[in-house]
């Protein structure tokens, strides 16, 4: 039996300013210095750490934010001098999709690669839109398929990228006519993608390539960045090469991984043929923006022999409408595309990679349930390095400006400092993927599914809010949200 | 001399001449509501009352406040620090007889308490936490400024209302002072009792006085005081509490008749002797907060006492594997239930499962395997430790599972022969009533009891020394933070407040008993934001 796939994580504390949720307010001038002081009794030694921090002349003038909001000190102080408040800086992080909680949990996962475990039940809203309107199913007692995640059976998270023949064909004399399939097998259903907005940091690209090599997956890089990747990591690089640059990048195409990405365009099939001529066993993937008509485009391109597609949604996981406005969430778009390809009869030949809006491990599982073969992590990798998905970056996204340009050079941007230390950045990316991988195994184990390939398009193993609401509450009378007063 | 099964049966039969199965002297606990104020010095309320430095200590505020916020005891020179957790806020300010307007030097100010804003989350809103604390303190419904019926999750129970709540027939809650007070309810009281054995087999008919019992929490995940308080309160209310999967502490023996012992996948602390002494045995197949994953006690909380109880090594993380390695079919499941029934011929058997898509089939399978109680644990339920991904994403919330199973069991014509219990997200008495109206017979609560004991949902039960408030900790110093008598009283009070609310709602609906509410979805409505208010008004 081959070795089980295992991601070796290393504890790598973040070097960025960590914004916390709760801040303490302390009216010290009223303190009576009583013998009943609650501060030394803090379970987490928050007050002690804070005092040390405040006395350290080298420490930054910033709060520590270690408080867990247990209220023991607030409620115990003999004079009631302590109180808590929610840190406004925390609430300002990210946006409505990349919420402060998502950013915070990603930081923690990138620290040590551990699954976030906590006490007490779920704390969030009942449901949301997009991925938050899906629950994954689980297997109760009657499906004898597995032995739990801590048991003997191996849960495979490997996926194959590349054109897969539906059947083998043989000549009358018994020779196999079907050309052998050249697949790229990666041990976890994630590839590391370029950031969703233009971050011109070659160091970041190099870190992505190094992380991909350690993980056994691949990293997507612009060709100009890929040229700087050391030879040892080049085998894990998927360069994005434009059709007109193919000849110029011939060495890169030959030496990088077997997958090459070509941006979608009118002459894409000719460009793909050119790549295959340079490197016969290459896997050409078409990188395309997810749009309402993507399913039609996929069917047309599949007819021309292109079988691997990387669908890019916006950072909130939505397709872009014809006028550039956000459209459906990838959950709905993927279900349509997957269903269409199944209807056309060649879904199994195709590989779909989805990126944009994959913010948590659960999104990976849910995107695969909706029909993707694998996903690509983009913004999440930046967040692992301390990115707060700040408004600055969003304005860049909108107007297409360049973070590398001097007017956007923010000395505080954690990405800039992280990109300067390749090993630090790569370790945090590996840690995050390690945590995602473990969480995927948890979900697969709960579902009783032993390999992630079988999860693709398995909508029967998911509970969709729209359907279950109708089933459970369909017979209840409806009332408007506001009571009728007339 | 070896003991044969026949000997055991004979011994059991002799013992069962009395109602319970325990041979240990059983304690009784009085069902009396007494005030049980916050065990911390500074109780948290929704509003904060600031007394500014220009206060002249005239005592006028203490004279006008009828809620006990201000006090100037005789002989005191100054008014004491405001007990602002009692303040009802704007509703009082509107009367004109409030401390702020009556203060001759304008030294008082009332504002929202920033501490209260840090408390809670969409599922357990700040109001819900404070309201539950109030109920646990007083034993009655909280005042109108606290929302005690709904959370802010935007779905499930928070979208469902009883029609009388929204059709204008109920007086404004701000005006209705305490409609659930028995004094204001004339006429006979509605029956809140629940039969647990409906199979009609030769096992005891157990009836509990409230349609609620306590969920399983293991010794290790919570402190011994928490376990005992739960057991004592449920003894007072003639209901049950559950040991969870962590063994049966000796100190629980005086309450054997009100304890459910749990047999879960790790079989921690399960012995034939503990199965024989109780009246209900629960099989835990899965837990709602982490369905399909099994239990997990982190190493820090596995203290020597816990390890001894579980037959494990202290300091090691303990996993309950998923699933039962001896159950891979309904036939295997029946074999398990038969095993328990053979060991204890007078116990009822409950089967606790979580809520996958085919939960209805699982329920039917469990019934035919011989279960008396089918206990559905929804995915938003509590836990001492679970992966965040599991709490949010795996399996369906209880609101969906209850009607699904109720309808399926009814269609199979076996609904009347089994007791259906819902748990995993039952936060309020109204949640419980809605679950029953959707098709459950009763509910199991867990987090609500923890909140009543002072939990603030800081989500750190799993790590280090455990709960910083001494509820879910096995560290001796932390355990001592919560006195057992106080904890017992808080839980007795909570159940009283819930029962008063249940009786109030049943009376509003004109129903004689809680059992007659089961499956009455015609009393419920769904608040749909896609419907226009004006259209309905026309």
User: Around Cβ A55, how many Cβ atoms within 10 Å?
Assistant: 8
Q: What average pLDDT does chain A have?
A: 89
pLDDT score at A101: 95
The verdict on a CB contact (< 8 Å) between A442 and B389 is yes
Establish if B361 touches chain A: CB-CB under 8 angstroms: yes
Q: Is the dihedral of CA A151, A153, A154, A155 positive or negative?
A: negative
Nearest to A235 by CA among A209, A215, A261, A211: A209
Specify whether the CB–CB gap between A138 and A444 falls below 8 A: no
pLDDT score at B181: 52
Q: What average pLDDT does chain B have?
A: 89
| Residue A73 confidence (pLDDT) above 90 | yes
- As given in the structure block, the two tokens for residue A249 are 């990048």
Strand partners of residue B47: B112
Residues of A in contact with B220 (CB under 8 A): none
Give the pLDDT band (50/70/90) at residue B176.
very low
The verdict on a CB contact (< 8 Å) between B458 and A74 is no
* Residue ranges of A 127-166 with Cβ closer than 8 A to chain B: 127, 134-142, 144, 147-151
| Topology of the domain covering B47-112 | Alpha-Beta Plaits (3.30.70)
The verdict on a CB contact (< 8 Å) between B400 and A468 is yes
Q: Is the dihedral of CA B163, B164, B169, B175 positive or negative?
A: negative
pLDDT tens for residues B456-494? 999 988 777 789 999 998 888 899 999 999 999 999 999
pLDDT score at A486: 37
- The nearest alpha carbon in chain B to A447 belongs to B292
pLDDT tens for residues A375-408? 999 999 999 999 988 856 444 443 444 545 544 4
The verdict on a CB contact (< 8 Å) between A141 and B403 is no
Q: In a 3-state reduction of DSSP, which class is residue A349?
A: helix
Q: Please state which of the four CATH numbers 3.20.20.70, 3.40.630.10, 3.40.720.10, 3.40.50.10800 is assigned to the domain occupying B5-31+190-523.
A: 3.20.20.70
> In this structure, are strands B207-208 and B194-195 parallel, antiparallel, or unpaired?
antiparallel
Nearest Cβ partner for B384 among A119, A439, A471: A119
Domain residue spans in chain B? 5-31+190-523, 47-112
Helices (H), A175-258: 202-215, 223-226, 231-234, 250-255
Specify whether the CB–CB gap between B178 and B170 falls below 8 A: no
Specify whether the CB–CB gap between B336 and B351 falls below 8 A: no
pLDDT score at B318: 82
Nearest Cβ partner for A138 among B328, B385, B394: B394
| Residue A299 confidence (pLDDT) above 70 | yes
Specify whether the CB–CB gap between A140 and B361 falls below 8 A: no
| DSSP assigned state of A10 | -
Nearest Cβ partner for A115 among B163, B361, B387: B387
The verdict on a CB contact (< 8 Å) between A477 and B122 is no
Nearest Cβ partner for A148 among B115, B152, B321: B321
The verdict on a CB contact (< 8 Å) between B525 and A148 is no
* Residue ranges of A 52-91 with Cβ closer than 8 A to chain B: 68-72, 74-78, 80, 83-86
Determine the average pLDDT of the residues in B184-211.
88
Establish if B292 touches chain A: CB-CB under 8 angstroms: yes
What's CA A13's distance to the chain center, in Å? 20
Dump the DSSP string for A88-133. Answer: HHHHHSS-SSS-HHHHHHHHHHHHH-PPPEESSS--S-S--SGGGG
Residues of B in contact with A448 (CB under 8 A): 292
Q: Is the dihedral of CA A13, A16, A17, A22 positive or negative?
A: negative
Nearest Cβ partner for B321 among A86, A151, A485: A151
pLDDT score at B13: 52
pLDDT score at B352: 94
Q: In a 3-state reduction of DSSP, which class is residue A47?
A: helix
Number of Cβ pairs closer than 8 Å across A and B?
Answer: 317
- As given in the structure block, the two tokens for residue B436 are 């029953």
Instruction: Give the list of residues 6+ apart from residue B456 with CB closer than 8 angstroms, or none.
Output: A69, A70, A71, B119, B129, B469
pLDDT score at A336: 97
Give the up-direction half-sphere exposure of residue A233: CA atoms within 13 A in the CB hemisphere. 26
| Residue B180 confidence (pLDDT) above 60 | no
Instruction: Give the list of residues 6+ apart from residue B129 with CB closer than 8 angstroms, or none.
Output: B119, B120, B451, B456, B457
Residues of A in contact with B440 (CB under 8 A): none
pLDDT score at B179: 46
Strand partners of residue A22: A86
pLDDT tens for residues B284-341? 988 888 887 777 787 888 888 888 888 888 888 887 777 777 787 888 899 999 999 9
What ipTM, to 2 d.p.? 0.91
- The nearest alpha carbon in chain B to A83 belongs to B115
- Pick from B9-18, B133-142, B144-153: least confident: B9-18
| DSSP assigned state of B16 | T
Q: Kindly report whether the peptide bond that precedes residue B323 is cis, defined as omega within 30 degrees of 0.
A: yes
Cα separation of B432 and B422, whole Å? 8
The verdict on a CB contact (< 8 Å) between A126 and B122 is yes
- Pick from B73-77, B116-120, B268-272: least confident: B268-272
Instruction: Give the list of residues 6+ apart from residue A394 with CB closer than 8 angstroms, or none.
Output: A95, A197
| Residue B175 confidence (pLDDT) above 50 | no
- The nearest alpha carbon in chain B to A36 belongs to B41
pLDDT tens for residues A432-442? 999 999 999 98
- The nearest alpha carbon in chain B to A469 belongs to B400
Specify whether the CB–CB gap between B122 and B380 falls below 8 A: no
pLDDT score at A398: 37
Shortest Cα–Cα distance, A57 to chain B (Å): 30
Establish if B533 touches chain A: CB-CB under 8 angstroms: yes
Domains of chain A: 22-86 (no CATH), 159-467 (3.20.20.70)
| Residue A149 confidence (pLDDT) above 80 | no
Strand partners of residue A375: A190, A354
| Residue A194 confidence (pLDDT) above 90 | yes
pLDDT tens for residues B431-461? 999 999 999 999 999 999 999 999 999 998 8
């Amino acid at each position: 039996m081959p070795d089980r796939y295992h991601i070796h994580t290393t504890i790598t504390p973040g070097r960025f300013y960590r914004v916390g949720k709760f801040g303490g307010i302390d009216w010290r001038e009223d303190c009576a210095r009583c013998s009943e002081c609650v501060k030394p009794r803090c379970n987490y030694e928050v007050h002690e750490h804070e005092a040390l921090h405040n006395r350290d002349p080298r420490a930054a003038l910033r709060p520590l934010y270690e408080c867990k909001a247990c209220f023991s000190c607030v409620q115990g102080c003999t004079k009631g001098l302590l109180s808590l408040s929610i840190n406004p800086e925390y609430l300002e992080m990210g946006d409505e999709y990349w919420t402060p909680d998502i950013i915070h949990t990603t930081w923690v996962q990138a620290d040590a690669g551990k699954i976030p475990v906590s006490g007490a039940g779920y704390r969030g809203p009942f449901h949301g839109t997009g991925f938050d309107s899906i629950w994954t199913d689980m297997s109760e007692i009657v499906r004898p398929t597995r032995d739990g995640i801590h048991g003997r059976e191996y849960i495979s998270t490997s996926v194959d990228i590349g054109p897969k023949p539906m059947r083998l064909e043989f000549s009358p004399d018994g020779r196999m006519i079907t050309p052998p399939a050249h697949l790229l097998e990666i041990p976890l259903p994630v590839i590391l993608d370029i950031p969703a907005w233009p971050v011109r940091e070659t160091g970041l690209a190099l870190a992505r390539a190094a992380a991909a090599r350690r993980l056994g997956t691949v990293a997507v890089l612009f060709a100009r960045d890929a040229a700087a990747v050391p030879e040892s990591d080049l085998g894990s690089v998927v360069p994005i090469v434009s059709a007109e640059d193919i000849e110029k990048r011939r060495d890169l195409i030959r030496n990088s991984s077997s997958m090459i990405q070509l941006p979608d365009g009118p002459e894409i099939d000719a460009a793909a043929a050119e790549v295959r001529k340079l490197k016969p066993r290459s896997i050409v993937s078409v990188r395309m923006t997810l749009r309402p008509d993507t399913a039609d485009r996929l069917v047309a391109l599949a007819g021309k022999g292109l079988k691997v597609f990387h669908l890019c949604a916006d950072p909130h996981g939505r397709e872009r409408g014809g006028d550039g406005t956000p459209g459906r969430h990838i959950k709905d778009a993927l279900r349509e595309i997957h269903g269409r390809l199944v209807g056309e009869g060649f879904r199994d030949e195709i590989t779909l990679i989805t990126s944009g809006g994959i913010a948590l491990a659960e999104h990976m599982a849910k995107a695969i349930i909706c029909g993707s073969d694998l996903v690509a992590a983009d913004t999440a990798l930046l967040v692992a390095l301390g990115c707060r998905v700040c408004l600055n970056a969003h304005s860049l996204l909108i107007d297409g400006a360049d973070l590398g340009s001097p007017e956007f050079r923010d000395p505080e941007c954690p990405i800039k400092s992280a990109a300067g230390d390749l090993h630090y950045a790569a370790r945090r990316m590996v840690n995050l993927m390690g945590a995602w991988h473990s969480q995927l195994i948890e979900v697969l184990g709960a579902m009783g599914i032993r390999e992630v390939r079988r999860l693709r398009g398995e909508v029967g193993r998911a509970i969709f809010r729209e359907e279950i609401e109708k089933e459970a509450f369909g017979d209840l009378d409806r009332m408007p949200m506001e009571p009728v007063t007339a | 001399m070896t003991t044969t099964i026949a000997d055991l049966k004979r011994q059991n039969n002799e013992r069962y001449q009395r109602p319970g199965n325990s041979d240990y002297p059983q304690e009784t606990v009085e069902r009396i509501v007494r005030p049980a104020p916050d065990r911390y010095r500074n109780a948290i309320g929704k509003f904060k009352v600031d007394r500014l430095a220009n206060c002249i200590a005239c005592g006028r505020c203490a004279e006008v406040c009828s809620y006990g916020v201000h006090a100037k005891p005789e002989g005191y020179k100054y008014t004491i620090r405001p007990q602002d957790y009692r303040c009802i806020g704007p509703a009082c300010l509107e009367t004109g007889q409030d401390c702020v307007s009556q203060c001759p030097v304008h030294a008082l100010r009332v504002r929202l308490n920033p501490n209260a804003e840090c408390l809670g989350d969409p599922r357990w809103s700040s109001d819900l936490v404070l309201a539950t604390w109030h109920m646990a303190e007083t034993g009655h419904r909280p005042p109108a400024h606290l929302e005690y019926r709904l959370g802010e999750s935007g779905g499930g129970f928070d979208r469902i209302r009883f029609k009388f709540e929204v059709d204008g027939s109920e007086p404004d809650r701000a005006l209705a002072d305490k409609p659930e007070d028995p004094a204001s309810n004339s006429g006979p009281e509605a029956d809140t009792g629940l039969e647990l054995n409906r199979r009609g087999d030769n096992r005891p008919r157990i009836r509990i006085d409230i349609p609620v019992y306590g969920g399983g929490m293991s010794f290790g995940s919570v402190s011994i005081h928490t376990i005992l308080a739960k057991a004592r309160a449920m003894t007072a209310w003639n209901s049950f509490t559950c040991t969870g999967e962590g063994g049966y502490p000796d100190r629980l023996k005086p309450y054997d008749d009100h304890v459910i012992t749990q047999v879960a996948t790790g079989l921690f602390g399960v012995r034939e002797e503990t199965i024989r002494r109780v009246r209900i045995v629960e099989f835990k197949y899965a837990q709602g907060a982490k369905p399909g994953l099994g239990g997990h006690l982190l190493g820090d909380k596995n203290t020597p006492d816990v390890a001894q109880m579980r037959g494990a090594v202290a300091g090691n993380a303990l996993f309950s594997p998923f699933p039962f390695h001896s159950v891979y079919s309904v036939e295997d499941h029946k074999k398990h239930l038969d095993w328990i029934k053979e060991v204890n011929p007078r116990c009822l058997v409950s089967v606790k499962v979580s809520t996958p898509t085919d939960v209805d089939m699982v329920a039917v399978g469990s019934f035919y395997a011989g279960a008396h109680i089918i206990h559905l644990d929804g995915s938003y339920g509590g836990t001492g430790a679970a992966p965040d991904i599991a709490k949010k994403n795996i399996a369906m919330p209880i609101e969906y599972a209850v009607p699904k199973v109720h309808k399926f069991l009814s269609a199979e014509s076996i609904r009347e022969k089994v007791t259906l219990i819902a748990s995993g997200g039952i936060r309020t008495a109204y949640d419980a009533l809605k679950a029953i109206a959707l098709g459950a017979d009763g509910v199991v609560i867990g987090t609500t009891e923890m909140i009543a004991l002072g939990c603030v949902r800081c989500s750190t039960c799993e790590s280090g020394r455990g709960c910083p408030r001494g509820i879910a900790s096995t560290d001796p110093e932390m355990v001592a933070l919560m006195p057992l008598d106080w904890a017992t009283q808080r839980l007795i009070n909570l159940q009283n407040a819930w029962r008063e609310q249940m009786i109030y709602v049943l009376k509003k609906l004109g129903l004689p008993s809680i059992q007659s509410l089961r499956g009455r979805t015609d009393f419920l409505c769904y608040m749909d934001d896609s419907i226009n208010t004006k259209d309905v008004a026309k």
